[in-house]
Structure 1
Amino acid sequence: MKKIIEYLPFYLMLSICVGICIENNMDIQELSLQKSYLYIIIIIIFLYFIMNKIGHLLFMLIVILLFISVGFLTSFFNNPINYSNYYKKIPSENKILTLHIKEKLKYNSYYQRYIGAVVSVNNIKTRGNVLVNIKNKGSKSLEIGQLIYSNANFSSIKPPLTSSHFDYKSYLSKKYVFEQIYLDNNEFQILETKNNSIIRIAEILRARIEISLDKQPFSKEVLAVIKALLIGQRKDLSNKIRTAYSKAGVIHILAISGLHLGILLYFLNSILAFLTQFKYGSQVKFLIILVILWGFAFISGLSASITRSATMFSFVIIGKLLNKNTFTEYSIISSMLFLLLIKPMFLFHIGFQLSYLATFGIVWIYPVLQKQIHFSNAFFSKIWEILIISLSAQIAILPLSIYYFNSFSGLFLISNLVIIYFLSFVLILGIIIISMAVINILPYPIAFLYNYIISQMNNFIEWISSFDYFIFKNLILNKFEILLCYLIIFGSINILYHFTKTRFFLILYCFLTFQLVNIYEKRVIYLKNTLTVFHDNRNTIIGKQKGKDLMIYHSKEHKSLGYFTDPIKQKTNVNINLSNKTPNIIQHKNNTLLVLKDTYLQGLKGIDKKTTILLCNSPKINLERILKKNNPKLIIADGSNYKSFITIWKKTCLKHKTPFYSTEQNGAYIFN
C-alpha cells in the first residue's frame, strides 16, 4: 500500500473521481468548453512559474483542486444533456428521428431493447442517447451500427416500483440515457448504412462466429455457455444456468472480463518466453501479446467490460516493457486514470468497480497470504496459489458485492479451484475451435470432445450450487458500513505486513463502530411506521409497515406477486404478510386513506384535510361532484387505472385546487 501512497497519479485519479461525483450531484445547464479548458491551461502555466516559490503541500493542494476541476469538466462535457443540440431541446410537435443503434440490451418478454444515438431530429443534427423498445412480435433484431428512421414520441423512463427494486432509470442515466421510445414493427424503417466503425466491424465478425458455432454439433445449453465464454454473447443463457453459476459463486466467468484476459495473458507469456533470448525479443513478445489480447477483445464485441480489462492489461504490459522494475499497482492506477478521463461514467459501473477491486485484491492481498503458508510439494503449492488468488479477489469485492446483490456464496473457493483450472484449458481450446469453425475445418471429434467438457463443467456447477445452505441471502450493508468494512480489511492486511498497537486499536475501533451502526439501523427499522401506495401496472398494492412487519394489500394472486415482494425481502429483510382483501378505509397515524374502487363514495360528505382518497380500478365516479362536497387532503391515482381517466382526474383536481398524485408519473406515495 505504501507504493500506492507514494505514486502521484493515485492522488490525481482520486481527485478526478471526486470531480466526477460532484458534477453528477449538481445541476448545471451550460458551460463553455473553450473557456473552461482555457482556465485550466492558465492555471497550469501559473503553477509552473510558482512551483518553486510555494511550499510542497500548498502546491499539491492546488494540483489536487486542479484535477478535481478536470474530473468535473470531463464529466460535464461527456453528458449530451449539457449541449444546446441535445435532442430534447429541439422545439417541434412531430419529431422525425434518425437513430444510430449503439448497443444491444437484454430483451424482456415484450420488447427488444437497444440504446440508440439520436443522430437528427427533423433533419437537424443532434446528440444524446435514447432507450429504443421494439415489440418482440414479428420483429427482426437490429444490429449495432444500423440507422433507423421513425417519428416516435419520447417518454420518460419509469422509476422503480419501490426503493428495493432495481433502479433501471438510474442505471440507464449512467449511460447518458434519460428518455425512451416505443416502436411497433411498422413504425420504423431501417436505412441503408455504410457504417464501418470498429464496433460495427466487431459486431459483424462476432455474428459470423456465432453462425459458425451454430452449425457445430453442440447441445443448446453448451452452445449458450460457449458463446458467453468466448464471444461475450449471453442472450441464449437459460435462467437455470445463470442461477447455478450465480449460486456457485462463478457467474463472473460467463461475462468476458479480466479473468479471461488474465488467463490468456499468462498462457501467452509462457509460450512466448523463448523470445526474450533474442535481441528485441521482449518487445516482440509484448507486441504479440497486445495484438492477441485486443484481437480477443475485438471478437468478443468490444463490450465495456472487455475494453476496460484489455486497457488495464495493456498498461501493465507497457509498464513492464518500459521499466522492468515498475510496480504493477502503478500501471493499474494509470489505466484507471486513463479510462476515467475518456469515460467518466465508468466510475459508477458495477463492473468497473468490482474488476478493479478484484485486481487490487490479487496484487495487494495475495502476496501477504502467500507468505503465511508454504508447501514444498509443487502440486499442493499450485492448489494453494489458486485458492489464495480467488480468496484475495473475493475479500476485496465482498463488501461491495453484498451492497449490490445482498448475497454471498460460500462455495466460491471450491468452485473457483476447479473452474480456474478448467477455464484455462476451455478458453485456449475454445479460441482454436472458433478459428477452425469460422473457416469450416473443425473436425467432429474435437467439437464432440469440447461439447463433453463444457457439459461436465455445467454439471459440476449445478451440483455445487445444489448446496443451498452455503448461500447466504438477504445480507444488507449501507454505504457507511461498506467504508468501515474496507477500513477493517485494509487494517487487517497492514497488520499482517507489520503489527503495531495503533493499527490493532484502529481495527478494533472500526469493528466497534460497525456494531454501533448495525444496532442503530436495527432500531430505525424497529421504529419504522409507514403507509405506502405502490405503483404497479393494472394492480393496486398498498403496504403498511410497522417495525419489521410489512402487511401488503393487493389485488393479485399470491403466486404472481413474487416479482414485487422478493426484492423487498432481499433489500430490507422484513417479514412480509399478504392479503388480497384491501380494506376500504386504512388508518395511519393522523391520516385516513379511503380506497375508492367503485361508486360507493359518490354521495359521501364531510371528508376533511386529514383524509386522502385513493382511486383504483378506474371507478366510474364524478370526481368534480365529490370535490365540491368534500375537502380531501390529496387525490392519489395508482397504476390500476386507465390513463385517460388519470388525465381527466388531474385536470379536475387542478380546477378545484386539490393536490393530485399519480403513481405512474411520480412513483410510490409514502405516508410517513
Structure 2
Amino acid sequence: MRFLNVALIKLCLVFLLGIFIGFYAEFSSGSIIVILCTALLLFIFAFIRATKGIFQDIFFGITAYLVFFCIGLATVHLQEPKNQPSHYIQNAENANFGNIIKVRITERLKDGFYTEKYLAEASEVYQITSEEEKVTSKKLIGKILINISKDSADFNLKIGDELLIPAALEDINQPLNPHQFNYRNYMRNLGVLRQINLSKPQIKLLKDENWQFKALAEKWRNKSISKLGSYSFQSEEMAIIQALILGNRREISTETYENYAAAGAVHILAVSGLHVGIILLILNWLLRPVEFLPKGKYLKMAIIVLLLWAFAFIAGLSPSVIRAVTMFSFLAIGMQLKRKTSAVNTLFMSLLVLLLINPYYIFQVGFQLSYLAVFAIVTIQPKIYNIYTPRYKIPDYFWKILSVSIAAQIGVLPLSLYYFHQFPGLFFVTNLVLLPFIGLILGLGILIIFLALLNVLPDFLANFYGSCIAIMNRFVDLVAAQEAFVLTDISFSAFITVLAYLMIVAGIMLIYKLNFRNLSFFLIAVIFLQSGLIFENYHYRQSEAVVFHKSRGTVLGFRSNENLTLFTSEDVNPANELFLKNYEVATKANTINAEKIRNIYNFSEEKLLVVDSAAAYKIPGFKPDILLLTNSPKINLDRLVQETNLKQIIADGSNYRSYVERWKKTAENKEIPFHYTGEKGAFISSAKRK
C-alpha cells in the first residue's frame, strides 16, 4: 500500500497492547511511574545516540515501542476508578444512610421494561452527622447508573440536570444464567461500577442553569425533535429520522430494529462512521470552489472540520458521534492537505488520540465495528474493486458500492457473529439499493431539521421526506422477510473471533505482497482457526445438568453433546425464554425435548430430588444426594436433612426469599453446601443424567 507508515502502525499496536495489559494486570501507581520514567530515559538516551550515529542497531526502535507500551499502561491506570482517590468506590463510607450525592445527568439510555435509565456523573457527597445535624461536603467523582421507576418518572430528566439523590449505591447485577448478556461488564466498559434504583420522591431536582456544551447540544436536539413532531410524520418514520439524523434510537420499535438487522442495514440506524463519512464526501464536493481562493485548501479543511462538529452538535454529542467525527476529522485533514500518506496511517492516528482520551472505548461495540469497517474498506476494497473494471459509469458506480459493502462486511463479520450471532445474507442487496440514496436522505434530513428550527419547513417537503423514509422501511421489511437468507443462532466465541481476525490480517498482507513469508503466515492462521473450531467442538461435546435461574418458575436442563432436554414448571414456555436461546447458541445445542418437571432424576453416581409446593419428599427406598427446592414448599428442612444424606441443597428463583433465607441458615448449621440461583446464578453439574 502506497505511503503506508508501518512504524506508526506498529507503535499504535504496541500502545493497544499496553492498554489491554493495563486493564487485566495489577500495577501500583509507584510501579507505573518507575516503568514510564525508565522507558522515557532509555528512549532519550537511544535518541541522542541515534542522532550522533554512534551505533546503528534496533535499540532506538525497541525503546520507542517500550515508551508507547508504557503510555498505554499509564493511560489505563489514570482512568481506572480504583486509582482515583475521589472515586466513590474509594469512599465506601459515603454509602451510609443519611448521606446525599449530587450528580449531573450525562446520558439517557434505552429504557427498561419498568424503569427509565440514565448515566450520571457524581460531583459531591453531603455527609450528615446525626448528632450535631451538621452537613459537610466532599468531592466525589464516578459514573453512576440511575434507574427511575416509570410510574414515578414524570419529570423527564434532561442531559445536564443536577440532582440530589440518596447515597445508597448498589452493585450492578450479574447474569444469573450461563452465556447470558453480562450487563455488569457492559456498564463497566462504560466506566460505570454502581447503580441506584429510585422513585420520584427520592430525587431533588436542582434548578441551577446549566450551560455545559453537551447539555446545550441535547437541548437543541430535543428542540429539533419537538419541531419535527409538529409535522405529519408517522411514528416509525419519526423514529427513523431521529436515529438517522439526530442519533436518538430510543424510539425505534424492537420489530423495526430486528428487521434492519436481518436486512443488513442496522448500521443506518446509528449515527456513526457511515453517516459522517457520507457527510464528509458531500461537504468535500460542495466546497470544491473554495479551493480556488488564496489558502483555499486550508480554509476548506477548516470549514469541513467545523461543519462535521456542527453535525455532531446537532446529533447531541453522543459518544458514538464524537468518536466518528473525531475519526473523520483526521481523514478530512489528510484529504485536504493531500500529503503523501495512507488513510490507514490517519485511521491509526485517530485511534491513538481517542484511546488516549478514553481507553474504555476499546471495549465498546460501536467503536470496534466502526474502526474495523473503515480499516477493511481502505485496505480490502481497492483490491476487490480491481477484480473487475466496468466500462461505463453507472455499472462502475454500483460496483464501487458493492465492493465497499463486501469489504466492510469482511471487516466486521467475525465481530458481528460474536456479538449478534447472525449473518444477513442479503446485505449486498440492501446496500446496493439504499447506499446510493443515503447521502440524499442524510442531506435532505439535515436541511429539513434546519428549516423546521426556523419554522419555514414547507409541508410538501416534510411529506416528501416522510414518504422516502416510509419507502426505505418497506424495502427493509421486504428484505428481512426473506428468512431463508438470514442465518441466525451462529455460535462464535471470543477465541474464534481473535483467530478469524488473525486470518483476515494475514490475508490482507498476502494480497498486497505475495511472498513465501506472507503465504506461510496466512496458512498458519488458517490452521489455527481450523484447530480452534475443532477444539471448541470437542470442548462442547460433553454432558452437564443445569438448574437455570427463572423468576417464579423452574427450568432444569440436561445436555448431552449437542442434545438438550428441558424439564420446566407449567408456567414456563421454553420457546419464549431468551436465556435458553443464549445457552443453546453458546453450547451449540438443540432442544430435542421439553417436558414437565418430575420429582426424581438419577445422575451417574448421584440422585436428585425435586420438592415443589406439594412438599412430597418421602419416597420409599430413595435417598437423594442433591435436593432442589421449588415453588416455596412448606417443609421442615431440618427433618428432611436428618432423614437423608444430602451433599447439596439448591433453591431456584421460584421460591419466596424469606423461605430461601431460612433454608440457607439450616444448611449452614448442617454444614451442607447451599446454592440459591438468585444469588449465585444457575447451578451447573457435569454429572450425566441416566
TM range (shorter): over 0.9
Alignment partner, residue 20 of structure 1: 19
Aligned: 1:378 with 2:378:
no
Alignment partner, residue 81 of structure 1: 82
Distance 1:84 1:505 in 2: 50
Alignment partner, residue 641 of structure 1: 655
Distance 2:397 2:281 in 1: 14
| Partner SS for 1:635 | strand
Which amino acid in structure 2 is aligned with residue 87 of structure 1? Y
Aligned: 1:93 with 2:107:
no
Alignment partner, residue 106 of structure 2: 102
Alignment partner, residue 301 of structure 2: 286
Contact 1:558 / 1:578 at 8 angstroms: preserved in 2?
no
Distance 1:326 1:511 in 2: 31
Distance 1:524 1:638 in 2: 27
Distance 1:193 1:56 in 2: 62
Contact 2:32 / 2:73 at 8 angstroms: preserved in 1?
no
Distance 1:100 1:643 in 2: 35
The equivalent position to 1:554 in structure 2, one of 565, 568, 587, is 568
- Residue 341 (structure 1) shift: 0.9
In structure 2, the CA distance between the partners of 1:585 and 1:251, relative to structure 1 (3 Å rule), is same
Alignment partner, residue 248 of structure 1: 263
Alignment partner, residue 317 of structure 2: 302
Which amino acid in structure 2 is aligned with residue 130 of structure 1? I
Deviation readout 1:248-287 (Å, 9 max, x if unpaired): 1011011000111111110110111111122111111111
The equivalent position to 1:124 in structure 2, one of 130, 138, 151, is 138
Alignment partner, residue 362 of structure 1: 377
| Partner SS for 2:379 | helix
Distance 1:461 1:415 in 2: 7
- Segment drifting more, 83-92 vs 638-647: 83-92
TM-score by length of 2: 0.91
In structure 2, the CA distance between the partners of 1:157 and 1:560, relative to structure 1 (3 Å rule), is farther
Deviation readout 1:373-397 (Å, 9 max, x if unpaired): 1112111111111111111111111
Contact 2:96 / 2:168 at 8 angstroms: preserved in 1?
no
- Residue 549 (structure 1) shift: 1.0
- Segment drifting more, 265-274 vs 632-641: 632-641
| Partner SS for 2:646 | coil
Aligned: 1:658 with 2:657:
no
The equivalent position to 1:533 in structure 2, one of 547, 551, 554, is 547
Which amino acid in structure 1 is aligned with residue 71 of structure 2? V
Alignment partner, residue 585 of structure 1: 600
- Residue 548 (structure 1) shift: 0.7
Alignment partner, residue 576 of structure 1: 591
Which amino acid in structure 1 is aligned with residue 352 of structure 2? L
Q: Note the 1:425-444 alignment, pairs <5 A.
A: 425-444=440-459
Alignment partner, residue 517 of structure 1: 532
- Residue 629 (structure 1) shift: 5.1
- Segment drifting more, 435-444 vs 48-57: 48-57
- Residue 537 (structure 1) shift: 1.7
Alignment partner, residue 111 of structure 1: 115
| Partner SS for 2:173 | coil
Deviation readout 1:343-371 (Å, 9 max, x if unpaired): 10111111111110110111111111222
Aligned: 1:350 with 2:348:
no
Alignment partner, residue 9 of structure 2: 10
- Residue 503 (structure 1) shift: 4.1
Alignment partner, residue 131 of structure 2: none
Contact 1:607 / 1:631 at 8 angstroms: preserved in 2?
no
Distance 1:323 1:41 in 2: 37
- Residue 291 (structure 1) shift: 0.8
Aligned: 1:47 with 2:43:
yes
Structure 1: segments with no counterpart, 5+ residues: none
Deviation readout 1:417-447 (Å, 9 max, x if unpaired): 1111111101101111000001111011111
Q: Note the 1:113-262 alignment, pairs <5 A.
A: 113-121=117-125, 122=127, 123-140=137-154, 141-151=156-166, 153-262=168-277
- Residue 520 (structure 1) shift: 3.1
Contact 2:615 / 2:633 at 8 angstroms: preserved in 1?
no
| Partner SS for 1:539 | coil
| Partner SS for 1:536 | coil
Which amino acid in structure 1 is aligned with residue 344 of structure 2? E
Alignment partner, residue 682 of structure 2: 668
TM-score by length of 1: 0.93
Distance 2:57 2:269 in 1: 48
Query: Percent identity of the aligned residues?
Result: 33
Task: Say what the alpha-carbon RMSD is for the aligned residues.
Answer: 2.5
| Partner SS for 1:446 | helix
- Residue 515 (structure 1) shift: 3.2
Alignment partner, residue 420 of structure 1: 435
Which amino acid in structure 2 is aligned with residue 31 of structure 1? S
Contact 1:368 / 1:493 at 8 angstroms: preserved in 2?
no
Distance 1:67 1:515 in 2: 34
- Segment drifting more, 190-199 vs 476-485: 476-485
| Partner SS for 2:200 | coil
- Residue 326 (structure 1) shift: 2.0
- Residue 42 (structure 1) shift: 5.2
In structure 2, the CA distance between the partners of 1:508 and 1:330, relative to structure 1 (3 Å rule), is closer
- Segment drifting more, 99-108 vs 303-312: 99-108
In structure 2, the CA distance between the partners of 1:37 and 1:316, relative to structure 1 (3 Å rule), is farther
Aligned: 1:476 with 2:491:
yes
Aligned: 1:337 with 2:381:
no
Deviation readout 1:540-588 (Å, 9 max, x if unpaired): 2221111111112222332773323222333333111454522222222
Aligned: 1:621 with 2:635:
yes
| Partner SS for 1:133 | strand
Alignment partner, residue 58 of structure 1: 59
Contact 1:81 / 1:128 at 8 angstroms: preserved in 2?
no
In structure 2, the CA distance between the partners of 1:58 and 1:502, relative to structure 1 (3 Å rule), is closer
Alignment partner, residue 460 of structure 1: 475
In structure 2, the CA distance between the partners of 1:420 and 1:143, relative to structure 1 (3 Å rule), is same
Contact 2:46 / 2:63 at 8 angstroms: preserved in 1?
no
In structure 2, the CA distance between the partners of 1:151 and 1:585, relative to structure 1 (3 Å rule), is same
The equivalent position to 2:425 in structure 1, one of 393, 396, 410, is 410
| Partner SS for 2:609 | strand
The number of residue pairs the alignment matches comes to 666
Distance 2:162 2:621 in 1: 59
In structure 2, the CA distance between the partners of 1:3 and 1:130, relative to structure 1 (3 Å rule), is same
- Residue 193 (structure 1) shift: 2.7
Distance 2:205 2:559 in 1: 50
Distance 1:471 1:192 in 2: 51
Which amino acid in structure 2 is aligned with residue 45 of structure 1? L
Distance 2:575 2:151 in 1: 24
- Residue 638 (structure 1) shift: 1.8
Structure 2: segments with no counterpart, 5+ residues: 128-136
Contact 1:545 / 1:551 at 8 angstroms: preserved in 2?
yes
Aligned: 1:596 with 2:611:
yes
Alignment partner, residue 130 of structure 2: none
